[in-house]
Amino acid sequence: MIPQGVPTRPVVFLDIDGVLNGPADYARWSARTRESNRSPGQVIAEVQAGRPEVDEHVDLLFNPGCVATLNKICAEANADIVCSSSWRLFYADKPPGELLYILRRNGVEAPLLGVTPPRLYQRGEAVRCWLQQERPGGTCLLILDDEPASEFRGVAKWHLRTNEQSGLVPSDVSRALQIITAAPYFPKP
């Protein structure tokens, strides 16, 4: 249950690699990419150059079990998603629907509100900046990321670190719901 007096729906800040996938998923994507006579590095470089449509095998990077776990958390908390992943850099200059389309096509059900500011590399700073701009009245939140809490100065208590080998798993649900329904974050003016 979300605390009384919080004016907005909760927000899940979502990293993708290491949360919605693991090394086995990356290996499947990499193998399929090589079958297309392209190296994974070449595809990544093309995506970084602003051509995400060149990755026709991107769906292999989404583990259905991890996606189902994310959907359970978002449904139970009635939460929206903000992409805080490095994927935001690839889609920053694209219409917002492109990232949403990839997420939907791979089973992510919660609404996508947008991405954290791409100009800010440090994820904690990017999360705080997004909250300051978009939720100045405060909000409950959860940060799903495989990076350590030290990357999230000022918002670390809302961070749940996933295992980069497995991504988000059903045993993470209880802790995630504890975090997202705990004390809300109120940006400093």
pLDDT tens, residue by residue, 140-185? 999 999 999 999 999 999 999 999 999 999 999 999 999 999 889 9
pLDDT of the residue at 82: 95
Residues 166 and 114 in one domain: yes
> Who's near 104: CB < 8 A, 6+ residues apart?
none
Residues 79 and 45 in one domain: no
Tokens of 46: 């093309």
Mean pLDDT of 66-81: 97
Domain of 38, in residue numbers: 23-61
Lowest mean pLDDT of 4-18, 47-61, 96-110, 152-166, name the range. Answer: 47-61
Confirm if 168 and 68 have CB atoms less than 8 A apart: no
How far, in Å, CA of 61 to CA of 55, rounded?
A: 11
Residues 42 and 90 in one domain: no
**pTM for this prediction:** 0.86
How far, in Å, CA of 157 to CA of 91, rounded?
A: 28
Higher pLDDT, 170 or 26: 170
> Which H or E run contains 45?
helix 40-48
Residues 75 and 111 in one domain: yes
